[in-house]
Copies of this chain bind each other. A is one copy, B any other.
Amino acid sequence: MKEKSIEKVDKKYFTFAEPPNELILESGEKLGPIKIAYETYGALNANQSNAVLVEHAFSGDAHVAGYHESDDKPGWWDDLIGPGKALDTNKYFVICSNVIGGCRGTTGPSSIDPKTGKPYALTFPIVTIADMVKAQKYLIDHLGIKKLLSVIGGSMGGMQVLQWVASYHDTVRSAIPIATTLKHSPQQIAFDEVGRQAVMADPAWLGGNYYDFGQPERGLAVARMIGHITYMSDRSMEDKFSRKLKEKNKNVKFTTDFEVEGYLRYRGDTFVKRFDANSYLYITKAMDYFDLAGDKFIPKNRKIDVRFLVVAFKSDWLYPAYQAQEIVKLLKTHRVNTTYCEINSTYGHDAFLVEIKKESHLIKHFLRSVYGESGEVNESRSS
């Protein structure tokens, strides 16, 4: 039986700025004011102990669950979030915000620079995963939350989870990084770089100043197609497409012959309608710069009181399980209470969005145990 979704949610906005009206980025550059698009589900309890922050992946956004007024499909992790689901909104207060540098409501390169009245484009400063998390910290403060029950996310969302612990370990009770890494490998950088090159090779990119003319659609579509190959596995592509053929126009060469080609073209074409090309550049760069290896994650002699559930998927070759194991190894070195689970799946990197049942089981029990420990609810009796 399919559980119910949250019926109606709204996107909210929070605008903030450090004095004097700007956020100081990791690079030293300043950015502001910053608008953050976010959504919340459920209610914050009296002592603010039930807040769970969900971090989205590269092309995700704040709309993680429920339906907007005009939606015909729910948020991107709806199967995990709602009444009775793993992130039970009858119990937890769930928050998700769009990252800075993004294009789904939060300030990014497509936003209007108040100094010029025009989109930032490439005058937007380079932002890092740490900057994204720093901006979220302002949101969490604004919402009156002193300590998060948990931070959870997959892929780039998982990097933000790790960064939360690196930047604000006192503010986090537990962390659930999924299908992610402490640092981008050269292969991961390489795939991102080819995507960026595809965008920038499109003459319609215009050095980033395309906002009056329309997106560099063809380049961005190619970039997205590359991404989609890396999100699936050899096996999941075989299961889904094999060598099945499409109807084709035999008079036109190099049109789609195989279903897999049609799928990739469709994915590329729909992506350009919803995602800003410059955001593609900035956010992939933020991932490539991400590097919490060694002491950068947990400095020597720092004691951290955060419980971890680290999840990886066997067929994920974009963020292979060995990278999750490196996270676990580092946590164990620091005697951090860590549970590691490698889920058997053929879905490749996409598994973190698809293997909901297996993830739900793990997350539900992990969170219940962390929440129970806080003394709020004795879950071992109530369940």
Contacts and interface: CB of A to CB of B under 8 A. Distances in A.
Nearest to A323: B234
Interface in A270-312: 281, 285, 288-289, 291
Interface in A235-265: 237-238, 240-243, 253-254, 256-261, 264-265
A19 interface: no
Sorted from nearest, which 8 A-B pairs have the closest CB atoms? A201-B218, A186-B237, A186-B260, A186-B241, A193-B261, A187-B234, A194-B225, A190-B229
B258 A189 contact: yes
Contact of A194 (B201, B222, B254, B317): B222
A281 B257 contact: no
A260 B189 contact: yes
A122 interface: yes
B237 A185 contact: yes
Count copies of this chain in the complex: 2
A226 interface: yes
A200 B317 CA distance: 28
Contacts of A197: 218, 221-222, 225, 264-265, 268
Contact of A229 (B191, B198, B222, B257): B191
15 contacts: A122-B254, A185-B237, A186-B237, A187-B232, A189-B258, A189-B260, A190-B225, A190-B260, A190-B264, A193-B225, A193-B260, A193-B261, A203-B203, A253-B281, A257-B289
Contact of A201 (B126, B196, B221): B221
Best-buried of A218, A253, A285 by chain B (most CB within 10 Å)? A253
A82 interface: no
Given A193-B256, A201-B202, 14 more contacts: A122-B253, A185-B238, A186-B259, A186-B260, A187-B234, A187-B238, A189-B261, A190-B260, A193-B258, A194-B229, A197-B218, A197-B265, A200-B254, A257-B285
Interface string A165-198: 0000000000000000001111101110110111
Given A190-B260, A200-B254, A183 B221 contact: no
B222 A201 contact: yes
A190 B285 contact: no
Interface string A200-225: 11110000000000000011011001
A257 B253 CA distance: 38
A74 interface: no
A320 interface: yes
A243 to B, nearest CB: 7
A278 to B, nearest CB: 10
